[in-house]
Amino acid sequence: MSRWRVAVLASYAASGIAFATWVSRLPAIRDGLDLTPGGIGLLLMCMTVASFVSISASGLIVLRLGPKLTTRIGSSMVGAGLVIVGIGTSIAANPLVVAAGLVVLGLGTASWNTASNVEGAALERALERHIMPHLHGAFSLGTVAAAGFGAWAAAVQIPVVWHFLMSGLVVTASVVAAGFWFRAEKTAQATTTFRPSETDTFQDPSTGPLPVITPGPDAGEGSTPAPLDNKRLVALAWRDRRTLLIGVLVLGLALAEGAAGDWVALALADGHGQSDAAGAVGYGVFVTFMTIGRFTGAVILDRFGRVLVMRWCSATAVVGLALFVFSPVPWLAFVALAVWGLGASLGFPVGMSAAADDPVHAAARVSVVSTIGYGAFLCGPPLLGLLAEHFGILHSLLAPLVLLVVSFFLAPLAGKKKASSVEPSQAR
């Protein structure tokens, strides 16, 4: 069990390293390509489109290949994408090469992150206690380390290509090695059959019992029930009202986190008049306090419950984000980043836990909530870039406030839900 937990933690941490590596050097990428905020937004859109294609299919990919193989393939693609982005920035100085690298990076990141959440949910159920905040805390630790290294690399002017090459190798090697201790396996295929005398569920290591289709009244005598195949499992999850609303709940807090990830460094540099290195430090402040929130989150959740914690997170993120935008002096903007980071800290991990309450549908529902939540990471930053073109970088960051308010009112949906069996009418 301890090796399994360390392996999952390593996967989350490596994902954080990959994310913060290119985010912390976004000002350098902008300068190397001589791009406007709108140009940066369009460049990020390339990653968005690729990631959205990958995240939309991630549920089926993970159910088909299993979390282990999916994370290995995804992390390898991310490592390759980082190298291509570095080459496009430092050697070719060509936006098209950078765009191609972001496409590869996006395709790998989306499915990898969904697989990590499915594996993490399986680990949490096996341990029977809250650990999702710790897992996402490992992601944040990875971003803190990578943001710190990125700030140093920017200060001493290390070429982006060498920075990204080193990070890409670390990310790929660590996840491929960690995959040896993953335990959740891919679900059984729909071709599995049952005898009439058997029970109507079977146990899967990653998702728990899978529902089966009970023959209807028109079924012939001797008909045998068949388990739901992967497509039907995902389709059922997309039709579940609670799952969709949990996705919207996560969407607001994920957008607050994603907006900070892609735009804080530039906002400090262009909006608050700070250097590129100070911009990387500011992002480091944000992820540091987000990490603190996640590693204390398990205790807070055990004491106050998901609903109150999610309301606190939404309200705190609103305060921090607004304070950052309207801060009259730079030092107050750094304080605001700390508040903002604490508010955004638990939205995603709590959403994953809420989606995985019912082991019957855990893998499919986690993939659905991941898809909606990552939609904020993917679509939000490019759209904020287009808003920044007209209203400035700082004021464009006010857009996530609307969804944070929605998240506040949807917080009751994160409450603990008992596992339930699937009725025949749902399965057909």
Which amino acid, 160? V
pLDDT at 399 over 60: yes
Examine the pLDDT at 359 and tell me if it is beyond 60: yes
H or E element at residue 258: helix 241-266
CB atoms near residue 349 (< 10 Å): 28
Ordered alpha helix ranges (H), 267-361 = 276-295, 297-326, 330-344, 347-355
Let me know if 138 is exposed, middle or buried by CB neighbors in 10 A (0-12, 13-18, 19+).
buried
Look-up: residue for tokens 């982006």? Answer: 160
The helix (run of H) or strand (run of E) holding residue 202 is: strand 202-204
Q: Which architecture characterizes domain 2-185+232-427 according to CATH?
A: Up-down Bundle (1.20)
Q: Which residue has the tokens 């899978």?
A: 210
Q: Residue 209: what pLDDT?
A: 39
The per-residue pLDDT for range 264-296, each reduced to its tens digit, is 877 887 788 888 778 878 877 887 898 899 888
Quote the tokens at residue 145.
Answer: 């380390």
SS3 of residue 418 by DSSP: coil
127 vs 193, higher pLDDT:
127
85 falls in which pLDDT band (50, 70, 90)? very high
Please give the backbone phi and psi of residue 261, each rounded to the nearest 5 degrees, phi first: -60, -40
Q: What is the DSSP letter of 329?
A: S
- Determine the Cα–Cα distance for residues 278 and 157; give it in Å rounded to an integer: 14
pTM (predicted TM-score): 0.73
**Quick one: pLDDT band at residue 220, thresholds 50, 70, 90?**
very low
Average pLDDT in the chain = 80
Decide if 388 contacts 269 (C-beta within 8 A). Answer: no
Which range has the top average pLDDT, 67-81, 179-193, 221-235?
Answer: 67-81
Instruction: Answer yes or no: are the C-beta atoms of 343 and 300 closer than 8 Å.
Output: no
Between 45 and 336, name the one with better pLDDT. 336
- Under 8 Å between Cβ of 210 and 227: yes
How many other β-carbons are positioned within 10 Å of the β-carbon of residue 271? 23
Provide the pLDDT for residue 378: 67
Domain ranges of the chain: 2-185+232-427
Q: Most confidently modeled of 210-214, 221-225, 249-253, 397-401?
A: 249-253
- pLDDT, tens digit (0-9, with 9 covering 90-100), for 175-203: 999 988 887 554 433 333 333 333 333 33
What is the structure's pLDDT at 417?
66
- For the residues 401-428, what does the mean pLDDT come to? 70
With contact defined as beta carbons under 8 Å apart, do 417 and 241 qualify? no
Residue 231's pLDDT is 78
How far is 320 from 295, CA to CA, in rounded Å? 20
